[in-house]
Structure formats: structure tokens, C-alpha cells
Structure 1
Amino acid sequence: MAVLLGFLAVVVACYLFIYYGVFRGARIFNPLKLNGKTVIVTGSNTGIGKATALEVANRGARVILACRNKEKAEAAVFDIRRESGNAQIVFMHLDLASLKSVRSFVETFLTSEPRLDILINNAAHMGPGHTEDGFGMAFGVNHLGHFLLTNLLLKRMQQCGPGRIINVAALLHRLGNIDFSLVASKKDLVPGQSAWQNLQAYCNSKLCNVLFTRELANRLEGSSVTCYSLHPGVINTELCRNMSWWQQFLLMPFAKIFFLDPEGGAQCTLYCALQEGIETLSGRYFSNCALQQLGRKGRDDALAKKLWEVSERLTGLS
């Protein structure tokens, strides 16, 4: 019995060390209010996005839930209004897998909303498929859709300033790679649609996120708008819903035990959106509510500039 109890004690100790030392992450305790500010959060009908939208709603902001699924988004609007007591929560349809939808969203927003203070590019896709415009889903949704959205909203943000743009990336950007010949020939970051290639496409798209942030900061230098990328932590959300059933089945027990809940996963996003004094760190990468070093490719300014130029052509901005 003593041996069994000792073994259980070791198991519990290991769990607590791994969870609190590796997975749990820091929490933000910034009391900043956002009354009079307008915030857009993409992919905010569930998961980290919804938790982020609720927190900025609690601080008095006008929050735009930019989502694809109307039914889920309207349910999220109801939940956030009820929990925050803030009636200024609005759903606007946005399908990042359609460049036409992105442009339509921006047109609706600019004609109905006088200001934009914080843009949180949170939505993400992991899995197979192609966008309406023929791009791989991870490339199209995670990068190109947000790239176009951000650029079309920049002028309004600069008029309102100071403003912040937050790009939710991932630690997996370190495993990413960008092959521009593949982008040119297949309109994708990977050559196929296998389970492994879908994961690699996600990693590659997260590298795009940090490179986009880096080049955006260079182009915004001297303006009142700053931008940041971040790793939110390892989160138990619906991101993997497009994975095969057996992959989800294998991942589920580990996710339930170790992964952060959406509230915990929103903390670094909120830090980048709210923390005062980080304006000089525009273009940098954060994790666990602290500045972190990017992977080598994420620091490549020439790669970031080329990705920007290619993205401009692919989205019709040039």
C-alpha cells in the first residue's frame, strides 16, 4: 500500500509540475477599461475568441463578433451580453475562406461603425479543404483572409489611433516553412491533403502570421497603430474539429487533463491588446504574457517582405 501511495504521489506531483509549469501560463490583472473603444474579434463564437470577446465586453468595449456561423455567433452575442451586462455586442458575418466575404465585411463595418481601436485576428483552421478562391484552407483562412482584412481596415484604425492589431499565431511557427513555388503552383503551403500535410500547413500558416506581423510593424512605424503576434498556449478548443475522428480520439484524454481552457488561452491575447508600455515592441512575439524570441525563420525580414508582396498579389491589393 505504501508503494502504491508513493507512486500516486509521484504521478500527482508530475501532473502538477507539467500543468502549472508548462501548460497553465500567466494571467493578466490589468484593470484597463475600454469604454468608447471598438474591438473586432474574428472567430469569436467559441473558444479563445469568445473568451477574449467576453473580457473586452466586461471592460466596456463595443465588440464586433466577426464570424462565419450565424447561429453560433448569435448565441455567443446573447451569452456575452448576459454575462457582461454590455449591450454593445454585435455580430457581423465574416467568412475568412472567401476574399469576397472579407471585402463585404469591411464594407459593412466601415459604413456602420465610426471607429476601430483593436483588431484581434483570432480565427484559425486546421484541416483539409480549399477556400472559395482555391487556396489551401490553413493558408487562406489563417493568413490571407486576415491579411486582407487588416489591410482594408488600417486606414480607419489610423484615423482613430492609437490602435492595436493582434495576430494569434502559435509556437508551432518554429516548425513552419514557406515554399513560394508551391504557393505559385498549388495556391497552398503544402503539396497535398494528408493528415501530416494538414498539420504542416497549419505550422506554415502560423509562420505566415508572425512574418506578417513583423512586416506590418515596419510599415506602420511612426503611426499610431502597433501590432503583435503571440502564442496563446496549448488550448482545449474546437480547432481540431476538422481532424479525423481517430486523431481527435487519441488527443482528447491528453487535452482534458493538460490543455488550458479558453479563458486561460485568451490571457496572452488580452495582454497584447491591453498592456500599457509595450508600444515600442510593435512587431514582436509574445507568449505567457511576456516577450519571447521567435524561431529563426520568424525573424527573417527578407522572407517577411516577400510574403507581404506575394500576399498582396494573391488578395488583389496590388
Structure 2
Amino acid sequence: MSIILLAVGVFIGAAFIYHHIVVKGKKCTSKAELHGKTVIVTGSNTGIGRTTAINLARRGARVILACRCKQRGEAAQEDIRRESGSNQVVFMQLDLGSLESVRSFAETFLKSEPRLDLLINNAGICMQGRTKDGFGLMFGVNHLGHFLLTNLLLERLKESAPSRIVNVSSMAHNFGKIDFDSLNTHKCLGLGTSSVRVFQIYCDSKLCNVLFNHELAKRLQGTRVTCYALHPGNSELGRNTSSLLHVLLKPVTVLFFKNTVQGCQTTLHCALQEGIEPLSGRYFSNCTVRELFAKAKDDAAAKKLWEISERLCGLVRVKALLNTTRILRSLPKFYKLVYDPPPKPDVIQHHKTPQVQETQHVQTVVSGFRVVSPT
């Protein structure tokens, strides 16, 4: 019995030392003040997102709490205002599992807020299901919703540059893979509801975050908007597990995982640390840039994921319409826009003179719009 007690004591002692040396980790050292800056933090009513929002509000930022649940979001707004001592904390409803909600949020934000200095894509979920648009829940919430949100807000970020995008991923991305066939066929990263499958799909969604960040950095070159992916620490993803499992795991999480204050330090580092702009597109853990496995910085996979994501959330159609609009602006006012439902190349019929007609094909993916001159 004494040997068992000794072994338990040694284990607890070792765990305690591990917790204080390894788990606590580094702290964000930036003293940056954020007065006059505007920040969006998704999933900021709880966990690491909430603690991040409190810290940024204390630094003087105008903080937008982008949360799914209106009741919880409004409660968080009051709590964060009280804890930070700032009244520049505003709740705006955002359901990342609904593309319509993402578009509505972006529209509301762009109408009401003149600048955006920092976008923190923090929200995450670890459970199976389907979004309102029929996508796998973890793919839809953890990746696609943030992908659309970021793209819809990019121009405002560019206008407010220098600005940053922080994508909260996880070390779990190391175990992930992207099943593009499943995305195209089932609109999800994988099927199955067993604990093993759920965790695997969560890992897959976190790999999506890192690949998205990798491709985004390429597309942002020269804009003075930078982006970073990171592994935070503990979060409240475990709230989606059963209450019994949650209780059983509590001692383990206390000893071996960061609390929310410790867990948000790398998020704050990526958001605020001076001089890391040349590291745009990189991955951070414990406030330190880390090397990635080849699959997490695969140019072809990142580009493919971007293109599929554009198609799935409808950005391809928006870009096609914008291209058509630019063409319209360059033509005389008496030309008109005609819509043909079947997808096909746009056709511009431009009469230079009554005798000469010139036809130009404009390559877009799916538009169905034609600009024609009056007969």
C-alpha cells in the first residue's frame, strides 16, 4: 500500500512540476495599446475567446463579440464590460453554421463600423452534425464559416492596414487529413459518430485552418494585412462532451492543459506582438513560431481547399457578378444586363459601328450574365 501511495505521490509531484514548467508556458509580452482600434473575436462569449476579448478591451480596443447565441452573447457583453472596465464592447450575432448569418453579420458590421484592425477567428466546435446549409458541422463552423467571414471583411481590413487576421487552430491538426472526395460528395470532412471518428474529423477541420492560413498569406502579400495560425491551449470544447466524462477529465485538464488565461497568450501574441509581420502565414505555439509538417504547408492542397471553399460558400458566383459589374461600368449607359439561368460564358456584344460587331468572351466559372446592346 505504501508503495502505491509513494507512486501516486511521485506522479502528482511530477505532474505539478510539468504544469508549472511546461503547461503554463510563455506569456504575451506586448504592451500595445489599442485605443481607436476595432477588433472582432468569434466565439467570445466563453473560454479562450472571452478571455481574449477581456484583454483586448482592457487595452482600449472596440471589441465586437461575434457569437451564435443572442442570450449568451448579450450576457457576455455585460460581463466583459464590467471585467475590462470598458464600454466599447459590442455583441453582434453570428452563427458560423449558417452562411446567411455570416453574410448578415458582415453586412451589419460593414455598415456600422468604419474600420477593422484585427479579426480573430477563434470559435470552434467538436461534435458531429450538419449546418443549416447541409455541411458537416465541424467543417462548416471551424473552417467554412470563418473562410467566408474573412473574405467578406478583407477589404475593410485592407483599408485599415496595417491589420491582422488570427486563425485559432490546434496541435490536433498534426493528426488531420483532408478528404476532398468527401467534401465534394458529402459536403463534410468525414462520416461517422464514434468518439474516434469525431476526434479525427475535428483534427481534419483544424488542418483546414492551417492550410487556409497558408494560402491566405500568399493572397495578402503586398497588402499590409498579415495572418497567423496557432495552437492555443485548453478551451471549453469539452463542454460538448457528456457531464460524466467532463467530471472525470477535470483533474487531467487542470494538470496537463492550460486554463483560459494561459491559453489565450499565443492568440494575444499573434494579435499584438510587434515585429512578427515577416512571419505572416506561419504557425505559432506557446508564443513561438513552429515548423509544420509538409501536409500543413502543402501549396497544392491549400489552393485546392481555397477553391472548393469558394465554390461551396458561393464566393465564385459573387466574383463572377463583380467581374460583370466592372465590365458594365466600362460600357456606355444604354447597354443592358441580361441573365441566362444555365451556366455559360458571359458574352459581350459591342457594336463599334452600325456595320461592325465585335464579340468578346469573358471567362467566369458560373455567371450566366450577358451584356448586350439594344437592337
Same fold (TM over 0.5): yes
Q: State which of 282, 286, 294 in structure 1 corresponds to 2:280.
A: 282
Question: 1:281-307: CA deviations, max 9, x gaps?
Answer: 000000000001112210111100100
- CA distance in 1: counterparts of 2:168 and 2:193, whole angstroms: 24
- The reply to whether residue 59 of structure 1 matches residue 75 of structure 2 is no
Give unmatched runs, 5+ long, in structure 2.
317-375
SS, match of residue 66 in structure 1: strand
Give unmatched runs, 5+ long, in structure 1.
none
- CA distance in 1: counterparts of 2:251 and 2:205, whole angstroms: 27
- CA distance in 1: counterparts of 2:4 and 2:98, whole angstroms: 57
Flag the structure with higher helix content: 1
How many residues are paired up? 316
TM-score (norm 2): 0.81
- CA distance in 2: counterparts of 1:124 and 1:21, whole angstroms: 27
Query: Contact conserved, 1:127 with 1:240, CA < 8 A, in 2?
Result: no
Query: Contact conserved, 1:128 with 1:242, CA < 8 A, in 2?
Result: no
Determine the structure 2 residue equivalent to 1:205.
Answer: 205
- CA distance in 2: counterparts of 1:130 and 1:244, whole angstroms: 20
Determine the structure 1 residue equivalent to 2:139.
Answer: 139
Query: Contact conserved, 1:51 with 1:266, CA < 8 A, in 2?
Result: yes
Determine the structure 2 residue equivalent to 1:251.
Answer: 249
- CA distance in 1: counterparts of 2:40 and 2:20, whole angstroms: 31
Judged with a 3 Å threshold, the aligned counterparts in structure 2 of structure 1 residues 162 and 198 are, in CA distance, closer, same or farther, namely same
Determine the structure 2 residue equivalent to 1:80.
Answer: 80
Question: 1:74-111: CA deviations, max 9, x gaps?
Answer: 11111111121111100000000000000000000000
TM-score (norm 1): 0.95
SS, match of residue 189 in structure 1: coil
Determine the structure 1 residue equivalent to 2:337.
Answer: none
- CA distance in 2: counterparts of 1:297 and 1:75, whole angstroms: 41
- CA distance in 1: counterparts of 2:170 and 2:158, whole angstroms: 27
Determine the structure 2 residue equivalent to 1:102.
Answer: 102
- CA distance in 2: counterparts of 1:293 and 1:170, whole angstroms: 14
Determine the structure 2 residue equivalent to 1:20.
Answer: 20
Q: CA RMSD in A?
A: 1.7
Shift, 1:252, TM fit: 2.7
Which structure has more RCO (C-alpha within 8 Å, separation ≥ 6)? Answer: 1
- The reply to whether residue 297 of structure 1 matches residue 280 of structure 2 is no
Query: Contact conserved, 2:43 with 2:66, CA < 8 A, in 1?
Result: yes
Determine the structure 2 residue equivalent to 1:232.
Answer: 232
SS, match of residue 56 in structure 2: helix
SS, match of residue 92 in structure 2: strand
- CA distance in 2: counterparts of 1:201 and 1:5, whole angstroms: 40
- CA distance in 2: counterparts of 1:193 and 1:13, whole angstroms: 37
Shift, 1:2, TM fit: 9.3
Question: 1:121-148: CA deviations, max 9, x gaps?
Answer: 0000101211000111110000000000
